[in-house]
Amino acid sequence: MTSTDDQHDWRTDGVRVIKGNQLDPNTPQTPGMNRQAAIDHARVGAQKIWAGTVTIHPNAKTGAHHHGALESVIYVVRGKARMRWGERLEFVAEADAGDFIYVPPYVPHQEINASPFEAALAALDRGGLEPLDATVSMFREALVRENHTLKRALTDPRLFSGIGNAYSDEILHAARLSPLKLTRSLADDEIERLHAAVRDTLALWIDQLRQELAGQFPEKVTAFRERMAVHGRFRQPCPVCGAPVQRIVYAENECNYCARCQTGGRLLADRSLSRLLKDDWPRRLEE
Ligand SMILES: [Zn+2]
């Protein structure tokens, strides 16, 4: 599968077309917007880029943020986008359908739909650390850069590309780690276990997706998630231990986990969780 393999199967490892109706909503979301991945590691094995679409609701805007070391390109497909940037968002520019926007690393900015009536649609490209290619030490470095819950750190696109809500649940279950455990509290063997779980889980789903697309199944990407271990399986038995899968509902997110496998049997209460997570739910990034 890597470019150093001697044997290539160009039929399955070659050029890929991702149809507009096969985009994957399992990617970090922001209120007022819908983001869908087209090109990422999970879908096509992309190593250094992420591409997809974002629909910005009328009048919606992001908070001020930056994308860390990542470079981003936005292409406006429909509507009018307004960008503000600078330490106090003091600079403004607008882009119409057909225009490109380049966002350099670390520039504080805000994206706004400049129309009160019309949704804006943009295509997005950006770089990111590819978790499948990260060594344990690269992975550790990104993970403990800030002290956050594992759930948030794994789904932070500034740290890792291509791990959305669903895959992060599956990864944490495979690693037998609580979604609320803080990144800086992890022991070395836990980091190694998590690193292995990221690679195994993503590789598994890449393979499943390939088989599915090669078989030309017309179903949407969501259908194959029925085979996941915990994600989207509230109250169903954990495939490892048989205990019912639990969930945490927070804002528009849901996190699924197995208490027996991941939290020593402890249930993570929604209410105490909201307090704990207040500023630490998966980041509402960005674009
Ligand atoms: Zn279990």
Q: What separation in Å is there between the alpha carbon of 264 and the centre of ligand 1?
A: 10
Domain count of the fold of the chain: 2
33 and 146 part of one domain: no
Q: CATH no. for residue 261?
A: 1.10.8.50
Q: CATH no. for residue 37?
A: 2.60.120.10
Q: Which residues make Cβ contacts (< 8 Å) with residue 33, sequence separation at least 6? A: 54, 55, 56, 57, 60, 62, 287
- Work out the average pLDDT over 224-236: 85
Q: What separation in Å is there between the alpha carbon of 172 and the centre of ligand 1?
A: 11
Task: Confirm whether 92 is domain-assigned.
Answer: yes
Task: Confirm whether 211 is domain-assigned.
Answer: yes
**Residue 188: predicted pLDDT:** 95
Round to whole Å and give the CA distance between 48 and 39.
10
37 and 102 part of one domain: yes
The boundaries of the domain holding residue 227 are: 136-277
Q: What separation in Å is there between the alpha carbon of 174 and the centre of ligand 1?
A: 10
Q: What separation in Å is there between the alpha carbon of 163 and the centre of ligand 1?
A: 21
pLDDT digits (tens, 9 = 90+) for 19-32: 988 888 877 666 67
Q: What separation in Å is there between the alpha carbon of 245 and the centre of ligand 1?
A: 7
194 and 215 part of one domain: yes
Note the pTM of the prediction, 2 decimals. Answer: 0.60
162 and 101 part of one domain: no
My answer on whether omega of the bond before 286 falls inside 30° of 0, hence cis, is yes
Taking the CB of residue 36, how many other CB atoms lie within 10 A of it? Answer: 18
- How far the first Cα of the chain sits from its last, in Å, is 31
Confidence of residue 264 (pLDDT cuts 50, 70, 90): very high
What kind and span of H or E run contains 212?
helix 188-214
Q: What separation in Å is there between the alpha carbon of 73 and the centre of ligand 1?
A: 41
180 and 268 part of one domain: yes
**Residue 212: predicted pLDDT:** 65
Q: What separation in Å is there between the alpha carbon of 173 and the centre of ligand 1?
A: 8
Task: Confirm whether 131 is domain-assigned.
Answer: no
| Counts of helices then strands in the chain (DSSP H, E) | 8, 10
